[in-house]
Structure 1
Amino acid sequence: MTTPLIDPFERAIKYLRISVTDRCDFRCVYCMAENMTFLPKAELLTLEELDRMCTAFIRMGVEKLRITGGEPLVRKGIMTFFEAMGRHLETGALKELTFTTNGSQLARFARPLYDAGVRRVNVSLDTLDEEKFARVTRWGRLPQVLDGIRAAQDAGLRVKINAVALRDFNEDELFTLTEWCARNDIDLTWIEVMPMGDIGNEDRVGQYWSLRDLRARLESRYTVVDTPERTGGPARYARLEETGQRIGFITPLSHNFCESCNRVRLTCTGQLFMCLGQEDMADLRAPLRNNPADDTALETAIRAAIDRKPKGHDFDYSRQRPDGQVSRHMSHTGG
């Protein structure tokens, strides 16, 4: 193995989140505008290029890959990429291959994903109310997602629900979602809404529900005990004593997690973002395509990018405006 990736703040980069498409079959109100303009397909890395890119990162010490989008399962031929990444699991170079999905295609792909080596999946689900689900996703259908979750569990995948905390939307479902997850042996992580991209008429500050407040509400009903466990990502975890379940909190605004950040994000066009909340990025597509038979230039570009990884992001709603907002949509960077 070549020298591992260490950023300027002595953080080892072990985790790559890679967006395989900016396209999605939903239009969630905190993620996209309703009428999105997607990238021309010619600009996207091919599945073979994605394989080569990920393999380079794995060779340089990355141990966890999370496949994202957009919605990763809408990319044509995506299973060939998952299957190709499975070879790194077999050698032990890669410790975990996982993905984040809206759940719409899970019923079709759950079994093949398990066969490819995936063992955990994050499903984005903000409400169990069918009408509200249609409203927040604009295009989505809740029964289809619930069918996908059941299929994932039947296939042997461990499911975690990612719920974005939205003021005046799912505040009243805090206990409903908690208890539904407990009954179905599903982990639950809450995420603060982040100021990313132009989402039309939606009010970022109006959407924001601090997880400090959310946790205080949980504590009014449950005994919430912090735990030291980590899954390689930004979530901090607690256990509810009464149910025994694990609850995660991803708090980029109320309590940022930058000091332990071990992640970088690669877009479907080969842009490497060293921080979700900063605009700086490195173009890896050019060294990849300009040197089809040699990864030396690609590895040099990756190291140069990691040397620019910042200490943290600047997300802030405290002045009643979305300070630190970045121009790109979450669907472009990778959810």
Structure 2
Amino acid sequence: MQNHTTPDLIDQYGRQASYLRLSITDRCDLRCTYCMSEQMTFLPRKEVLSLEELERLVGAFVDNGVRKVRLTGGEPLVRKNVMSLFEGLSRHLKSGALDELTLTTNGTLLGKYAKQLVDFGVKRVNVSLDTLCPEKYAEITRWGRLERVLGSIEEALAAGLRIKINTVAVKGKIEEEIDDLIKFTHGRGMDLTLIETMPLGDVGFDRNEQYLSLTDFRQDLDQRWSLTDIGDTTGGPSRYVRVGETGGRLGFITPMSNNFCSTCNRVRVSCTGTLFTCMGAEGAVDLRDALRSSESNAAVEGLIRETVFAKPECHNFSIDENSTSGIKRHMSFLGG
């Protein structure tokens, strides 16, 4: 239930920002082809917020009506002492100020931390996985090992975590993967969500060659699977269908072919403390200086409210056969 004693973050179009996606590192132990270049240059560590600063920043958002927090990266679980951050943030779950604390991960370290995550109140996680073929997985991630991720998923399920698999729908690849992914995820009680590729950063590939409209792809799926629209929501942009043959849920995130900007409830903060109200816009506001210049959160909270109010109506990127309009920063900078 919404705590009406806390102010809400309302933008100029009447949308409430109740969901914070917080990147806690730009580093990752993989180099997925749609996310970053193989030879990435990462941020100097002094520019990255400390775990204590990240915890304090989350508190400022929670005090202004945010009810869901997702930790992202890069890969969040590569951050040193990351479990201390989950432990600190769990107090908001215990107090009832926060409805959900979760994360998105590539899964390589999930098994190692699954039990601790459950102990700190995390109930479900998103795992990025684009193929069940070891050779293709190594190609997509550039040096990852599929068996390590699959083993981590099994350990996480055994620990009691609910898992949703996120798959980027790369044209020419997802078409031959989708049926196996549906059977794999639903056979283990997991959800599967497909995500359209977005023009974020130079990854060494032509985005037009990667992009597949999920609105069109669903028509192909309808020829082989019995898909029924359902109103389920997990608090994000995914729109779900029920697959008749498996009983499981299949989600579609369609920022390009059918954008959901009018109902957007999300804001994003980078590991450097930069607040982005839209993934598909360049505008951003630095919160780090305000955070470090005072022990009080008053200045930070003022910046947050001012920035959220000015949130743009919709994103600025697009992909079509003639042109691509994108954003220079890599997806890894904000965690997707």
Q: Under a length normalisation based on structure 1, what TM-score does the superposition of the two structures give?
A: 0.98
1:247 and 1:44 map into 2 onto residues whose CA distance is: 36
Match of 1:299 among 277, 298, 301: 301
Which amino acid is the alignment partner of residue 124 of structure 1? S
Q: 1:281 maps to what in 2?
A: 284
Alignment-derived partner of residue 186 in structure 1: 190
Quick one: distance in 1 between partners of 2:273 and 2:154? 34
Q: Which runs of 5+ in 2 are unaligned?
A: none
Question: In 2, Cα distance between the equivalents of 1:109 and 1:116?
Answer: 11
1:223 pairs with 2:230: no
Distance 2:150 2:193 in 1: 17
Structure 1 counterpart of 2:128? 124
Q: Deviations over 1:243-293 (max 9, x none)?
A: 1110100000010010100000000000000000000001100110011x2
d(CA) in 2 for partners of 1:182, 1:216: 20
In structure 1, the residue corresponding to 2:104 is in which secondary structure? strand
**The one of 248, 253, 256 aligned to 1:250:** 253
Equivalent residues in 2 for 1:38-49, closer than 5 Å = 38-49=42-53
C-alpha contact 1:264 1:275 (8 A) present in aligned 2: yes
Query: Percent identical across equivalent pairs?
Result: 53
Give how far 1:3 is off: 1.9
Q: CA deviation at 1:203?
A: 1.3
Amino acid at match of 1:218: L
Task: Report matched runs for 1:188-227 at 5 Å.
Answer: 188-200=192-204, 202-227=205-230
- Once the two structures are superposed, what CA deviation does each residue of 1:11-69 show, in whole Å capped at 9, x if it has no partner? 11100000000000000000000000000001000000000000010010000000000
Instruction: Find the aligned partners of 2:297 and 2:41 in 1 and give their Cα distance.
Output: 32
Pairing 1:98–2:91 present: no
Partners in 2 of 1:216 and 1:331 — Cα distance? 31
Match of 1:235 among 234, 238, 244: 238
| Aligned residue in 1 for 2:57 | 53
Match of 1:320 in 2: 322
Tell me which of 308, 311, 331 is aligned to 1:309.
Answer: 311
The Cα of 1:184 is off from its aligned counterpart by: 1.3
Is the 2:168–2:195 contact (alpha carbons within 8 Å) kept by the matching residues of 1?
yes
- State the distance in 1 between where 2:174 and 2:228 align: 23
Change (3 A) 1:235 1:276: same
CA contact (8 A) 2:27 2:42 kept: yes
| Structure 1 unaligned residues grouped into runs of 5+ | none
Matching of residue 71 in structure 1 with residue 86 in structure 2: no
Indicate the larger mover: 212-221 or 303-312: 212-221
| 1:34 alignment counterpart | 38
Between the aligned partners of 2:93 and 2:79, the Cα distance in structure 1 is 22
Alpha-carbon shift at residue 173 of structure 1 (Å) = 1.2
Cα distance in 2 for partners of 1:320, 1:220 equals 29
Deviations 1:121-171 (A, max 9, x none): 000000001000000000211000001100110010000000000111231
- Matched-pair contact (CA < 8 Å) for 1:19–1:67: yes
Which segment drifts farther, 44-53 or 228-237? Answer: 228-237
CA distance in 2, matches of 1:126, 1:311: 31
Deviation larger for 299-308 or 18-27: 299-308
Distance in structure 1 (CA, Å) of the matches to 2:308 and 2:109: 34
TM-score (norm 2): 0.97
Q: Structure 2 counterpart of 1:50, which letter?
A: L
Q: CA deviation at 1:317?
A: 1.2
- 2:324 is paired with a residue whose SS is coil
1:319 CA displacement: 4.1
How far, CA to CA, are the matches of 1:298 and 1:5 in structure 2? 13
Q: Which amino acid aligns with 2:131?
A: T
Matched, 1:146 2:150: yes
Q: Is the Cα contact below 8 Å between 1:252 and 1:315 reproduced in 2?
A: no
Structure 1 equivalent of residue 333 of structure 2: 332
Per-residue deviation, 1:215: 1.0
- How many residues align? The count is 332
Matches of 1:297 and 1:17 in 2, distance apart? 21
2:208/2:321 contact within 8 Å kept: no
